[in-house]
Amino acid sequence: MLIFKYDRAATVDVTTERECLDALREAADLLGESPTKAQYERLDVTPSSSTIVRHLGGWNAAKERAGLETANSRGSRLDPKPDDVEIPEDVEWSNLSADQRWHYRHVETNRERTLTRRAANRAWLYEYKHFNCECERCGEETPACLDFHHPDHVEKEMEVGKMVTYGYSRERLLDEIEKCVVLCANCHRKEHYPIPDGVEIPEEQIRETDLCQ
């Protein structure tokens, strides 16, 4: 079993205001509207709603800082659709809720934020593999060849690679990584490819390296 030498406390940054604001905007993106505290909590994302409230002095204050609609700003007069904002053809700007209008006004920045976060996560994961990981079966150390394999008994949230793509927080990534064993691509493939029943090769001719463990 590979021992994780990773010093979690030293690597997971303490939550910053920026992370709180990003998380709020991402939640709004996901929900298609400015999240109530209860809605946010149901998403089960980090940082927690209480962390956000603590950092930014209240839920509405945090949403205001994030540029999201707050309960107070609902029902404000309707600004006409800015020319550079695109909405689907069958949608009427004036029929949209304030939150939906916010969503359409920020599509571009939301997309950029996701891409930036994804790129940063990829770089982080590469460094993580470089400094901490080797295949637990054969010792392969090349980051490009290393996978995080979920053993059968663990509850899998998602492939780590997918979580990176979706821009999950580092804390969530580490939670998932800690459930996994590190295998190189070859050993990982063998893990999911036992010698099929009915193969008629004499046992002594099967190389040890052909076996999954």
Residue 15 tokens read as 């939550």
DSSP string, 90-152: T--GGGS-HHHHHHHHTHHHHHHHHHHHHHHHHHHHHHHHHHH---TTT----GGGEEEE--T
Q: Which of 137, 149, 172, 190 binds Zn ion (CB under 5 A)?
A: 137
149 lies in the binding site for Zn ion (CB under 5 A)? no
Q: Decide whether 21 or 184 has the Cβ nearer to Zn ion.
A: 184
Task: Please say which residue, 31 or 212, places its beta carbon nearer to Zn ion.
Answer: 212
| Nearest-approach distance from CB 162 to Zn ion, in angstroms | 22
Alpha-carbon distance values, 75 to 63, 79, 80, 123, 200 (Å): 16, 11, 14, 43, 75
Output 57 or 194, the one with its CB closest to Zn ion: 194
CA distances from 42 to 39, 45, 91, 112 (A): 5, 8, 29, 25
* Minimum distance of Zn ion from residue 211's CB (angstroms): 12
Asked whether 206 and 195 are in contact (CB, 8 A), the reply is yes
With respect to Zn ion, which residue has the nearer C-beta, 63 or 137? 137
**C-beta of 77 vs 192, nearer to Zn ion:** 192
* Nearest approach, Cβ of residue 190 and Zn ion (Å): 8
Looking at the Cβ atoms of 59 and 128, the one nearer to Zn ion is 128
Is residue 140 within the footprint of Zn ion (CB under 5 A)? yes
Smallest distance, Å, CB 146 to Zn ion?
Answer: 9
Q: Which amino acid, one-letter code, is at 67?
A: G
Window of 11-19, 32-40, 138-146, 174-182 that interacts with Zn ion by CB under 5 A: 138-146
- Compute the distance between CA of residue 22 and CA of residue 39 in angstroms, rounded to an integer: 16
Q: How far is the CB of 123 from Zn ion (least distance, A)?
A: 24
Which 167-206 residues touch Zn ion, going by CB under 5 A?
A: 184, 187
The neighbour count for residue 127, using CB atoms within 10 Å, is 12
Provide the minimum distance between the beta carbon of 2 and Zn ion in the complex, in angstroms, as a whole number. 11
What amino acid is encoded at 117 in this protein?
R
- If binding is defined by CB under 5 A, does position 133 make contact with Zn ion? no
Binding site for Zn ion (CB under 5 A): 135, 137-138, 140, 184, 187
